[in-house]
Structure 1
């Protein structure tokens, strides 16, 4: 076997945040699909249910303490972010994000005409002082946050900062879009309140999905907002894709109704916790000069490499060593201070879909390159 072939056979993927095959509850989901298709045929296999499958909306409304009319279920949370952007963003409006932030969301907001500005991220979440200075210059259509185990860094927004961000939204009159797909995957510590739980002025819109808890392929996401906002987005959704994908939404509802979701989340935490521990310990050992964001859950550990690190063509050189990385620049929006973002020094390290051995070897390869 040649060196290239050997490297390829030992390829390690530190790219997308995807669940591994062993995390997908295929047997149980299969039973749920079979049940809803056979027993609710006239609804599940038809057009209609524009806000989403009614029993699932009811379950979500009960969980989040809202009315059914404040819940919209769509084809993944990113599609709902797209609809919200179309509705709220006029050409050249600003949208603020954390810096770095989820690359797909940045692209989605830009595609809808927004100027996306990143506010630096600190160990305990967004830099609120920098956010306030940016707000003095311009009020965005909304601020996009991943407050729990952020993508791409793994950082969590502190309770103090949650309160301050909500206060700023009320004072300046902008929306906060809180994206919480990783919230239930906590491996250490106690839950912090949702931003919407701290909001008395209706400025927080919550979005999430079942991609990390059940299956990304099912494309079931949901949004919680005021009835008026959900009314508007429902009309836009109908004009965009006519009807939601009811079989997958119904299967998720059946899965929840059978009491399977909570035990599955616990199983996922048992599966992922050793991988999270391996990633955090490997980064500390192999990359002592890097700044690692503290991650207590989720799918990612993010690191900012030292200024003297060799980041020249890092993604290309890593691939030659059988290590596949996502370019760090893709997670960076425009800087709030006008300076070029330093995304080439950032590396997102997903840990859920790789083994502990692959994690240790992958971080070692990364250390050898920088």
Structure 2
């Protein structure tokens, strides 16, 4: 059999890790601040990193909470905000692990259809009018899994709805700094921060294994979620947070981001080109950045049992249905037609061959 090509998780390749630089930062952080870094405590996160993030985003330190990746923070926010009978709204499709997290906390998780420029605002407002959600979860930049980016007009509309109806919005932005073309759009919090919880992490910029994520929100919500976290895990993982702070202090983060964009841009271009060339008739979401291109296969395509059939020819795919929450109207979309194609951990040659194999099954 030909070599297996893996189009599943959105992970960085090993060559993306700044291993030597991180080793220096861990050593420096442990030796320079041993009494803090190797001890219990500092529940909202390592102070130096909180200060750096507060300065970058123009917020007070009390509006910053650092945790073990953004998914843990989503879980803590859900634990605090979700009450019996509550709904959480997501894009449709959305990040499968977020959907699972919100459901485990007891929320009915409803997906609002996504368009090329982001969530369908009319459908969102109609659902909010039926029941104000505990929160809305969005990935506005290079969305996981679809790849779409929320337009400026829709960013303003989402913020307006949140303020008028009084619900929270999580804007999860782990891919935002990995833009390969075009201009950045403003964070939702820069439009009006009063109902916005901004989340991100260093998983895509440094390493997923260090598990350092953060959230920005009004101080009262940060304090409440911090208490929930302390009751859950007692103390944050300070050595990794301190190493990230040292990495930033040395001025290494932005140069590393530029290296990542240089590494990923050819792979992004290869995936966009391959899907357009080999998957005629499919709806293709081609982002300006991030980790994923996605396709919605034509209704007439032979997509039944696609994941299993792909494995037989050395192509590993993620089942599409997991990315879909409950339907807001009518029947649940057929997730078997949806295919997420991560490109960062595969070479351009593997990308072209993998998409060719996918096309051969349809």
Give the TM-score normalised by structure 1: 0.97
Aligned to 1:107: 100
1:184-225 alpha-carbon deviations (Å, 9 max, x no partner): 00001000000000115x100001100000000000000100
* Match of residue 363, structure 1, among 344, 350, 355: 355
What is the distance in 1 between the residues matched to 2:302 and 2:188? 39
135-144 vs 211-220, greater mean Cα deviation: 135-144
Aligned to 1:282: 274
What is the distance in 2 between the residues matched to 1:257 and 1:268? 19
Aligned to 2:251: 259
What is the distance in 1 between the residues matched to 2:344 and 2:286? 16
* 8 Å Cα contact 1:91/1:112 also seen in 2: no
How far residue 233 of structure 1 moved from its aligned partner, in angstroms, is 0.8
Aligned to 1:44: 37
How far residue 154 of structure 1 moved from its aligned partner, in angstroms, is 0.9
Segments of 4+ in structure 1 off by > 3 A?
none
Aligned to 2:58: 65
Aligned to 1:231: 223
Structure 1 gaps of 5+ residues are 1-5
What is the distance in 1 between the residues matched to 2:336 and 2:208? 28
Aligned to 1:217: 209
Equivalences for residues 213-362 of structure 1 within 5 A: 213-362=205-354
What is the distance in 2 between the residues matched to 1:97 and 1:319? 30
1:95-136 alpha-carbon deviations (Å, 9 max, x no partner): 000000000000000000000000000000001111111112
How far residue 294 of structure 1 moved from its aligned partner, in angstroms, is 2.8
1:289-335 alpha-carbon deviations (Å, 9 max, x no partner): 00011300000001100000111110000000100000000000001
How far residue 338 of structure 1 moved from its aligned partner, in angstroms, is 3.3
What is the distance in 1 between the residues matched to 2:63 and 2:178? 25
Aligned to 1:136: 129
* Match of residue 161, structure 1, among 140, 154, 172: 154
How far residue 342 of structure 1 moved from its aligned partner, in angstroms, is 1.4
Give the TM-score normalised by structure 2: 0.99
**Local SS of the residue matching 1:231:** helix
**Local SS of the residue matching 1:176:** strand
What is the distance in 1 between the residues matched to 2:128 and 2:219? 27
How far residue 288 of structure 1 moved from its aligned partner, in angstroms, is 1.5
How far residue 91 of structure 1 moved from its aligned partner, in angstroms, is 2.1
What is the distance in 1 between the residues matched to 2:22 and 2:205? 12
Aligned to 2:13: 20
**Local SS of the residue matching 2:225:** helix
**Local SS of the residue matching 1:135:** helix
What is the distance in 1 between the residues matched to 2:51 and 2:195? 22
What is the distance in 2 between the residues matched to 1:23 and 1:203? 35
Q: Does 1:87 find its partner at 2:45?
A: no
Aligned to 1:3: none
Matched length: 362
What is the distance in 2 between the residues matched to 1:288 and 1:273? 23
Structure 2 gaps of 5+ residues are none
What is the distance in 1 between the residues matched to 2:99 and 2:228? 21
* 8 Å Cα contact 1:118/1:334 also seen in 2: yes
* Match of residue 194, structure 1, among 187, 191, 212: 187
What is the distance in 1 between the residues matched to 2:84 and 2:107? 6
**Local SS of the residue matching 1:330:** helix
What is the distance in 2 between the residues matched to 1:147 and 1:301? 15
Q: Does 1:75 find its partner at 2:49?
A: no
